[in-house]
Amino acid sequence: MLKSFFNYLGLALLKLLSLLPYRLLVPIGYGLGYIAARIPGDRNRVVKTNLHLCFPQLSDTEIDDLRKEHWRLLGRSLVEKSIIWLGSAQQLNNMIEVKSAVDLANKKPRILVNMHFTGIEGSIILSALAKRMHWPRTSGFFQRMKNPFFNRKIIEWRNRFGGNSIDRQGNSKEIIREIRNGDFIIIAPDIDLGLKDSEFVPFFGVETNTITAVSRLAKITHADVCIMTTTLKPDESGYLCEIGMPLENFPSDDPKLDTARLNLLFEEKIRLRPAEYYWVHKRFKNRPANETNPYSASI
């Protein structure tokens, strides 16, 4: 009963935030991020560990400044979830601009490879604009939440514009069918999903467990693979979703090399705006050759 009460309280809070003017929502998020950066806890230690591993050339002061800026932007993105999950298509359109180097309406089999910046979920904005822009349906993977109530709600919210949320542990035949049909498939392979169908490849010079799904799916479906990023505009007034040209000579005959190539492309994008990357994830939790988990001790 108490759990149900807090679920509906959280739902009411999200609805309230979605009704606020965007110019008020942003500073609320920055304020929450400011507070979160100064509360000792596991996720703050994770952020600090990740930054030390990926930017060993930075001083402790520089790492701490980057950590605080990351939390500031993460706080903003968290309150913006109210619009992402409950807002109208017009609200999303006002919040984000889409620029694509490819014709998104031509129904060509295509995999959009996204990475975890703090910005809004790209699959939702493409779904919100699909009808007006004559784009095909957008399908994106989702990771099951521990809370069944919000797991169900978020799937409903993500699909409200006609999108299709596919369980990461779901049917691979469904994914292949969507790609061959010319619908958008968005995959974000830059999180540690376990050792199955994964390889250890470099990411910021660290051997990192990474899924090989993009290479394998592209090989099976003969789909183009395009990098997609959603990042803050320079004036922080909103977000820019950019979709690049298809990667040349991708996939190869070696999924491990392809996956390493994607990680290198991610790294190049992240170095341009390091505070915007999703550093709260335990990216390096699985280690090769029984190496020590870097999160088992704070840095």
The CATH number that applies at residue 116 is 3.40.1130
Alpha-carbon distance 47 to 67, whole Å? 7
- The backbone torsions φ and ψ at residue 103, rounded to the nearest 5 degrees and listed phi first, read -75, 105
- Phi then psi dihedrals of residue 182, to 5 deg: 90, 5
pLDDT in tens, the chain (299 residues): 667 878 888 889 999 999 999 999 999 999 999 999 999 899 999 999 999 999 999 999 999 999 999 999 999 999 999 999 999 999 998 999 999 999 999 999 999 999 999 987 777 888 888 888 889 888 877 777 778 888 888 888 888 888 888 776 656 788 888 899 888 889 999 999 888 899 999 999 999 999 999 999 999 999 999 999 999 999 999 999 999 999 999 999 999 999 999 999 999 999 999 999 999 999 999 999 879 999 986 54
Question: Does an H or E element contain 25, and which?
Answer: helix 22-36
The beta strand positions in 56-194, using DSSP E, are 96-100, 110-114, 138-142, 164-167, 184-187
Q: Which domain holds residue 96?
A: 2-296
Read off the amino acid at residue 23. R
Cβ atoms within 10 Å, residue 144: 11
Whole-model pTM? 0.92
Cα–Cα distances (Å) from 105 to 132, 158, 181, in that order, read 11, 21, 12
> For position 163, what pLDDT does the model report?
83
With residues binned 3-state (H G I as helix, E B as strand, rest as coil), the percentages for the chain, rounded to 5, are 50, 20, 30
DSSP codes joined into one string, 178-228? HHHTT-EEEE---S---STTEEEEEETTEEEEEE-HHHHHHHHHT-EEEEE
Distance CA 87, CA 17 (A): 10
Q: How many domains would you assign to the chain?
A: 1
CA 179 to chain centroid: 20
Per-residue pLDDT tens for 60-76? 999 999 999 999 999 99
Q: What is the pLDDT of residue 144?
A: 73
pLDDT in tens, 211-242: 999 999 999 999 999 999 999 999 999 999 99
